[in-house]
Structure 1
Amino acid sequence: MLDIYLYVFTTGFVWVLIGTAVGILVGAIPGLSGAVVISLALPTTYFMDGGDALLLLVSMYIGATTGGLISATLMRMPGTEAAIMTTLDGYPMAAGGQPARALGLGVLGSFVGGLIAWAILAALSPPLSLVAVRFGPYEIFAMTVVALTLIAAVSRGSLLNGLLAAALGALFSMPGIDPSSGSLRLTFGLSSLDNGFALLPVILGVLVLGQVLVDCENAGSPITERVRASARVSMRLRDLKTYAGTFISSSVIGSWIGILPGVGGTTASIAAYSVTKALSKTPERFGHGEERGIIAAESANNAGTVGALVPLITLGIPGSVITAILLGAMVIHNLNPGPLLFAENPEVAYTVIAGAFAANVAMLAIMWVATPLLSRLMYVNKFYLFPAIVVFCFIGAFTVSSRFFDIWVMLGFAVLGYVMAKARMPAGPFIIAYILTPIAETNLRSGLVIYDSSYLPLITRPVCAAFLALAAISLIWSLWSELKPARRQTEGGDTE
């Protein structure tokens, strides 16, 4: 394992620097996201080694999460969703004449949160993989069901919209070769559909071009007030001692919430911020430039980002849209995501773990030195970037198989992505269901063959039963959470 860390910090560090820098650049521009840049970067990794490709993409993931704090602090407009809570105290502090201090606390919180989450990732992943590798087909099927239900349950908007998006993703994953019989299905006589829809055109269409179509409608939106950035970032080592409790508690909360599939860095930062405020002796200062508020939000969202890698590399369960894309990258590079990754490609698994550590080191250096330059990205109109994004999407879709059919597929899914956005259907459950449904189907069919077409082991085998119970609880809880406010509103109307 030591030789992997040496590689990551020598030859592989080039990919780490590139990925982290690009991620920070994109994260600092409001309206763009890590999902967009990672989707666009996927085609460039086709001719790379699988480990180097994941090193690049994971670094982009971590960089984009941190980059969001720049616009959140200086514009009150989070560059990424995970930086929403940073705006509450970051912008008031910056507007009060301390932008360097606000940015410094955010960068330091991101670094500490990433390191603590990396320690948890490095400690938990190997033993979890040893347990998971003993799972049979029914256990893996039950895990995918948990991932699908959790993602749909915690998705933005109504539970119905999340489930409907997941159902659409599952439906579009069906055309192609039946995993059991080997016969073609749902191809409608089109030979181009013999292998189904390629993953990359689907991702580029739904996540990137679909969002571009939506954003083009908002070209005339007003510009948010900006704060002039300082010439440097202000970080003090004594802050680590002064706010040690906030750093540690928020990072641990963020890490464990990040490990839960479907929750993500946004929820992690909200939870950590709320706990820090509740435990504070001066809660009234939060929302008015409180330093602990910035530290809690940024420590938790970066820890949640790294924590989401735990279920990805050990169980093959993506915890967010971006980790779903990382799962797709593994499939593209013929790597078995989940329990078999440590067994068949341990060097790749440990490269991801080492890359998470290296990306946090690179992030600290880049943010410390380049923040004055990066802060000028606030003045870049993202609409000027759309032509280049569209061109890269066309190039990326065509390079999959050098077929114009994949370009038409991308355009078709772009329309679908636009319709879903207008209907407030989240793209996350769609993409995750599209990737996980073939895995679930293959393992369910294999389990039926092994157990003589019996579904009973799904209930009698303890691990299967536990996973399915967790899936049922998450759906029931989400349904109850949605019905409860509606019921209160109805009762309130009746009382009046």
Structure 2
Amino acid sequence: MMEGYLAAFSVNGLLWAAVGASLGIFVGAIPGLSGAMVIALALPLTYFMSASDALILLITIYIGATTGGLISATLMNMPGTESAIMTTLDGYPMAQKGEPSRALGLGVGASLAGGMLAWVVLAVFSPPLSDFAVRFGPYEIFSMTLVALVLIAAISKGGFVNGLISAGLGALLSFPGIDPVSGSLRLTFGVSALDNGFSLLPVMLGMLVLSQVLIDVSKTAAVAEIVDSVSNKVAFKLRDFRINGWNLIRSSVIGTWIGILPGIGATTASIVSYGVAKATSKNADQFGKGASEGIVASETANNAAAVGSLAPLIALGIPGSVTTAILLGAMVIHDLNPGPLLFSSNPDIAYTIIAGALLANIIVFLIMWIATPLLAKLMYLDKSVLFPVIVVFCVIGAFSVSNDFFDVLVMLGFGVFGFLLQKARMPVGPFIIAYILTPIAEVNLRSGLVLYDGSYLPLLTRPISLFFVAASVATLLWVAISALRESRKA
């Protein structure tokens, strides 16, 4: 534990945290760019870094982007990230009333409070959760990955069927290469470059970054009225936070819990928290007109969810969102063993992640406090100026994997494929998560079959495995019933 915290708060750790937070806030403040995009672009840079420094950089980018989205949401009525959607409902009206500094102060303070309370949960419960998960057998791990895949498909944009198709395509394209059990080649079709399958980084760069660039290029950028940035400094009123004390705690709990659940995400946490705050408020009629409760509920929950999503990542090896799936990929790239064994095989790294989440919240708060007037000007930046730079970094990042031009072709191919998927209203998130989780699920399923003489019965006779299978079935039934109700209403 001490090694992990010393690594995070060392000179190197502080430097990379400052760089990551600045990058994350920069990207989060520009509508249309995402934390997942910049984390994918930053992955090649981490090849030459230690695992602890790399993870500190990526985690601070993640939390910085989540917080940075409130700047454009408040001043522009355009959320910089999806998780800041609910912030626009009250942040922008408050800014229009002549209180942009108060709106920003509420958002920044609530983000810090939510992140810190979620960090307490992460630090306290991740080690015992990992100790419990170490007892999982292959069928338990397989059924747990099954839950993650079903959940991410169930709540993704475009509907459950489209999410499931996207996840199926991701699973299918993870199969080419060497069979993990027999060691023989499969689905390479005689192409020697496919002997090791598609490298993870080119796939992520293509699906998450290049495809988004193609989407943005193909459509006209939205125009929004921008609040005068002269008064866009951050200002706190202690009275606001005294009034919202219970709101902060409740929203932190909601955000942390939803963040821990695989496949839900910060956006859902923000929506649920905002809805609960409005339903329980004595001033519900003020929501949507500049209510401080609405800003606090949204920003507390989305940051709490971002930090909370790290718990299943390090304790179980299950990503709760696309961004944490990229973090999982980064751990694999650095030869780490994410999941239940991380605390036993690399405890210093596990505690570095926990300490990095604490450091990220502090650094992001300080940067937002000092630099928001300057960051607000980023909203005037034309995104098209960034596209050529992003594409160049994609090519360099893909080539750096193994100095092979084939990886660049893979990145370009998956970029076009991701563009076509989104045009067909199929979400990219389930594809990426299925691409990463399918090999884990396959290895554990086949190991279980070997261990239990080809019997699938232990999936239902072992309590933990049965619980996860039942959760998957319950999710499927819930989606089916919801769809039936919607069709009846229609």
Q: TM-score range by the shorter chain?
A: over 0.9
SS at match of 1:406: helix
Correspondence 1:181 to 2:182? yes
Partner SS, residue 30 of structure 1 = coil
Match for 1:463: what amino acid? I
- Contact persistence 2:7–2:52 (CA under 8 A): no
Structure 1 partner of 2:380: 379
Unpaired runs of 5+ in structure 1?
A: 490-496
Equivalent position of 1:6 in the other structure: 6
Give the SS at the match of 1:179: coil
| CA deviation after TM superposition for structure 1 residue 4, in Å | 2.6
Q: Which residue of 1 aligns with 2:131?
A: 130
Partner of 1:392: 393
CA–CA distance in structure 2, aligned partners of residues 338 and 231 of structure 1: 42
Match of 2:444 in 1: 443
Q: Hey, what's the Cα distance between the residues in 2 that align with 1:98 and 1:347? A: 45
1:83 partner amino acid: A
Which segments of 5 or more consecutive residues in structure 2 lack a partner in the other structure?
none
Shift, 1:239, TM fit: 3.5
Alignment partners' CA distance in 2, 1:328 and 1:471 = 24
Identity %: 65
Q: Determine whether 1:216 maps to 2:217.
A: yes
1:349, distance to aligned residue in structure 2 (A): 0.7
Residue 221 of structure 1: CA displacement? 3.4
Deviation string 1:272-293 (CA, Å, 9 cap, x unpaired) is 1111111111100000000111
State the distance in 1 between where 2:429 and 2:406 align: 24
- 1:143 Cα offset (Å): 0.8
Q: What code does the residue aligned with 2:392 have?
A: V
2:225 alignment counterpart: 225
Provide Cα deviations, 1:269-321, integer angstroms capped at 9, x if missing partner: 11111111111111000000001110110000000100111111111111100
- Partner deviation per Cα, 1:393-442 (whole Å, 9 max, x = no partner): 00000000000000111111011101100011001000000000000001
Q: How does 1:81-100 map to 2 (within 5 A)?
A: 81-100=82-101
Aligned pairs for 1:346-365 within 5 A:
346-365=347-366
Partners of 1:387 and 1:327 in 2: how far apart? 28
Structure-2 separation of matches of 1:428 and 1:481? 22
- Matched residues in 2 for 1:212 and 1:10: separation? 36
Q: Distance in 2 between matches of 1:329 and 1:74?
A: 34
For the residue of structure 1 that corresponds to 2:48, the secondary structure is coil
**One-letter code aligned to 1:381:** D
Counterpart residue identity of residue 251, structure 1: S
> How big is the shift at 1:3?
4.1
* Correspondence 1:40 to 2:29: no
User: 1:228 offset after TM fit, Å?
Assistant: 1.3
In 2, the alpha carbon distance for the partners of 1:176 and 1:82 equals: 37
- Equivalent AA in structure 2 for residue 2 of structure 1: M
Paired residue secondary structure (2:141): helix
Q: How do 1:401-420 and structure 2 match up within 5 A?
A: 401-420=402-421
Q: What secondary structure is seen at the aligned counterpart in 2 of 1:46?
A: helix
The whole-number CA distance in structure 2 between the counterparts of 1:336 and 1:99 is 45
Q: Which amino acid aligns with 1:132?
A: A
Taking structure 1 as reference, are residues 222 and 354 closer, same or farther at Cα in structure 2, changes over 3 Å only?
closer
Q: Is 1:254 paired with 2:240?
A: no
Task: Say which SS state the counterpart of residue 266 (structure 1) adopts.
Answer: helix
Instruction: Render the CA deviation track for 1:8-53: whole Å, top value 9, x for unaligned.
Output: 1222111111111110000000000001000000000011111211
Contact 2:142–2:441 under 8 Å retained in 1 = yes
Alignment of 1:311-322 (within 5 A): 311-322=312-323
Q: 2: CA distance between counterparts of 1:356 and 1:238?
A: 28
What do residues 203-243 of structure 1 show as CA deviations (whole Å, max 9, x unaligned)? 0111111111111111x334111111215210134433232
Q: Which residue identity does 1:305 align to in structure 2?
A: A
Following superposition, the deviation at residue 131 of structure 1 comes to 0.4
Query: In the alignment, is the contact (CA less than 8 A) between 2:277 and 2:294 conserved in 1?
Result: yes
Q: For 1:143-158, what aligned pairs fall within 5 Å after superposition?
A: 143-158=144-159
- Report what 1:494 is aligned to: none
Indicate the residue corresponding to 1:492 in structure 2: none
2 CA distance for matches of 1:3 and 1:186? 44
**1:264 correspondence with 2:270:** no
State the match for 1:469 in structure 2.
470
Counterpart for residue 493 of structure 1: none
Stretch deviating more after TM superposition (60-69 or 209-218): 209-218
Code of the aligned partner of 1:8: A
Distance 1:103-1:198 versus aligned 2 partners, 3 A rule: same
Distance in 2 of aligned mates of 1:308 and 1:231: 31
What is the identity, as a one-letter code, of the residue corresponding to 2:223?
I
1:234 and 2:235 are equivalent in the alignment: yes
Tell me by how many angstroms 1:150 deviates: 0.7
- For 1:194, the aligned partner's letter is D
Corresponding residue of 1:80: 81
Contact 1:158 1:482 in 2 (8 A): no
* Preserved CA contact (<8 Å) 1:255 1:306: yes
CA distance in 2, matches of 1:442, 1:48: 29
> How big is each residue's C-alpha offset from its partner over 1:62-110, in whole Å with a ceiling of 9 and x where there is no partner?
0000000000000000000000000000000001111000000000000
Q: 1:160 to 1:231 in 2, by over 3 A?
A: closer
Secondary structure of the residue aligned to 1:210 is helix
Q: Which secondary structure state, in structure 2, belongs to the residue aligned with residue 77 of structure 1?
A: coil
Distance 1:232 1:285 in 2: 24
Paired residues of 1:159 and 1:479 also in contact (CA < 8 A): no
Per-residue deviation, residues 153-196 of structure 1 (Å, max 9, x unmatched): 11112111000000000000000001111000000101110000
3-state DSSP of counterpart to 1:313: helix
Distance 2:247 2:270 in 1: 12
Aligned mates of 1:337, 1:347 — CA distance in 2: 13
Question: Is this contact kept in 2: 1:210–1:414, CA < 8 A?
Answer: yes
Aligned to 1:50: 51
Provide the TM-score with structure 2 as the length reference. Answer: 0.98
- The aligned residue for residue 143 of structure 2 is 142
Q: Distance in 2 between matches of 1:177 and 1:221?
A: 44
Letter in 1 for 2:383: K
- 1:270-289 matches, within 5 Å, as 270-289=271-290
3-state DSSP of counterpart to 1:394? helix
Q: CA deviation at 1:444?
A: 0.8
Cα distance in 2 for partners of 1:342, 1:239 equals 40
Q: CA deviation at 1:358?
A: 0.4
Q: Give RMSD over aligned pairs.
A: 0.9
- Secondary structure in structure 2 of the residue aligned to 1:337: coil
